[in-house]
Amino acid sequence: MEFRNVLAKRRMVRNYTSDPLSRELVDEVAAAALRAPSAGNSQAIVVVVVTSEAKRLEIASVADEQSYVDAGFDPWISGAPAHLVLAVSEKIYRDRYSEPDKLGPDGGEIEWPVPYWWVDAGAALMAILLAAVDRGLGAGFLGVHSLPELSRIVGLPDDFQPIGVVTLGHPAPDRRSGSLDRPHRRPDEVIHHEEWTE
Amino acid sequence: MEFRNVLAKRRMVRNYTSDPLSRELVDEVAAAALRAPSAGNSQAIVVVVVTSEAKRLEIASVADEQSYVDAGFDPWISGAPAHLVLAVSEKIYRDRYSEPDKLGPDGGEIEWPVPYWWVDAGAALMAILLAAVDRGLGAGFLGVHSLPELSRIVGLPDDFQPIGVVTLGHPAPDRRSGSLDRPHRRPDEVIHHEEWTE
């Protein structure tokens, strides 16, 4: 699909048909994460693909899906045929920036004015969300609040921190998030020229 | 361009021809940031487009471009006809999550296990980097270490924190970053199934 169309079509899909996805297709979408940049080429993102029903139900449970369903929303987590758990290791960045070519002016590890591991995780997330659209699928993203539980479910090592779950499947009609009632910011509110202007 | 080709072609371009870019083209690339998702639809990213030579030289100076040039690299910051300064406001997220539909179980603002403003900034960054490729341009990203200086140059309000500068232009041959000598991780090192495996 044309990039412009992929970008224009991307939205959080919060309901899926029960059609299963081939492992190959899910892996193609997940592999988009490898095309995201990382500070110092740290490459510290991992994706755990979950398709087993037992684990998907467990993830839906720690995300408290039932409260969404009770509020009239679709069971978009348990109903997604694949979950992609994204995680990143701050430690890998710190180790990378302890290598000789990355030390700060004082010879020690730099200060991190911005925790670039989160920024890079967001870049990988966006690559995955767009790749899903390109493959004719829909994706959602859930920043689970019980992240330690999510870590346990997929067995992440201690130095990896999950950022949440990408739900993946064939789109079904869904109830929109209430957040989408907030007005969409216009380009002239987001893009400034030469310097900030109100 | 096809999405797959855009994703495959994306790389950090660290040298540009002196050809100027039309304001329309730069704004199109910057506007890709508006297509990135944000937690609670907070929409707290701004892009300051800098094309004035004086400001670009100032940004190159706070980024200590000269030390890169002295080390044999191209003047990829001052030489880029446009700089896109990306910034995000944590405050907007906190205000959004103080609204009634986003309060935590105890009725107060949620804990933030992951600072999603950085994640979302990374998603916007990726959208911009890919949009540049789609428009036949090259883009680089510089996580400037003197971010307070960068804020001052583009006049950001106090509650906005820049994550760095996207350099944008027509690609010229460049000297690769030493970080690219690090081996590229294979898909089977990044993508796990059902649970983490070594």
What would the pLDDT profile of A107-157 be if each residue is shown by its tens digit? 888 888 899 999 999 999 999 999 999 999 999 999 977 899 999 999 999
Average pLDDT over residues A40-56: 96
d(CA A21, CA B32): 29
- Per-residue pLDDT band for B105 (boundaries 50, 70, 90) equals confident
d(CA A119, CA B126): 10
- The whole-chain average pLDDT of chain A stands at 94
For testing contact with chain B, the best of A66, A99, A114, A129 (most B CBs within 10 A): A114
- Grouping H, G, I as helix, E, B as strand and the rest as coil, residue A190 is helix
- Grouping H, G, I as helix, E, B as strand and the rest as coil, residue B19 is coil
d(CA B16, CA A153): 47
Per-residue pLDDT at B144 exceeds 90: no
B7 Cα to chain A: minimum distance (Å):
7
Per-residue pLDDT at B145 exceeds 80: no
Strands B45-50 and B82-88 turn out to be: antiparallel
CB pairs < 8 Å spanning A and B: 236
- Residues of A with CB below 8 A from B125's CB? 119, 122-123
Per-residue pLDDT at B151 exceeds 80: yes
Phi, psi of B164 (to 5 degrees): 150, -165
B193 Cα to chain A: minimum distance (Å):
5
Identify the weakest region by mean pLDDT among A28-42, B27-41, B90-104.
Answer: B90-104
Q: What is the pLDDT of residue B109?
A: 84
- Residues of A with CB below 8 A from B190's CB? 30-31, 33-34, 43, 45-47
A75 Cα to chain B: minimum distance (Å):
19
Its pTM surpasses 0.95? yes
Average pLDDT over residues A18-41: 96
- The whole-chain average pLDDT of chain B stands at 94
For testing contact with chain B, the best of A191, A197, A198 (most B CBs within 10 A): A191
B181, with CB counted inside 10 A (0-12, 13-18, 19+), is: exposed
Per-residue pLDDT at B59 exceeds 80: yes
- Is the Cβ pair B49, A187 closer than 8 Å? no
Strands A191-193 and A161-169 turn out to be: unpaired
**CA closest to B23 among chain A residues:** A193
CB of B3 closer than 8 Å to CB of A3 = yes
- Is the Cβ pair B177, A55 closer than 8 Å? no
For tokens 């090592």, what's the residue? Answer: A157
A52 Cα to chain B: minimum distance (Å):
7
**CA closest to A44 among chain B residues:** B190
- Is the Cβ pair B30, A121 closer than 8 Å? no
Long-range contacts of B88-91 (CB under 8 A, 24+ apart): B88/B44, B88/B45, B88/B46, B88/B117, B88/B118, B88/B120, B88/B121, B88/B160, B88/B161, B88/B163, B89/B44, B89/B46, B89/B117, B89/B157, B89/B159, B89/B160, B89/B161, B90/B44, B90/B115, B90/B117, B90/B159, B90/B161, B91/B159
The third-level CATH classification (topology) of the domain covering A3-169 is: NADH Oxidase (3.40.109)
- Per-residue pLDDT band for B180 (boundaries 50, 70, 90) equals confident
Average pLDDT over residues A80-105: 93
- Per-residue pLDDT band for B176 (boundaries 50, 70, 90) equals confident
Q: What is the pLDDT of residue B193?
A: 97
Sequence ranges of the domains in chain A: 3-169
Q: What angle do CA A194, B165, A91 make, to 5 degrees?
A: 155
- Residues of A with CB below 8 A from B192's CB? 46-49, 154
B2 Cα to chain A: minimum distance (Å):
4
Q: How far is CA A27 from CA A37, A54, B57, in A?
A: 19, 20, 43
- Of the candidates B161, B168, B163, the one whose C-alpha atom is nearest the C-alpha of residue B129 is B168
Note the ipTM here: 0.96
For tokens 């110092």, what's the residue? Answer: A40
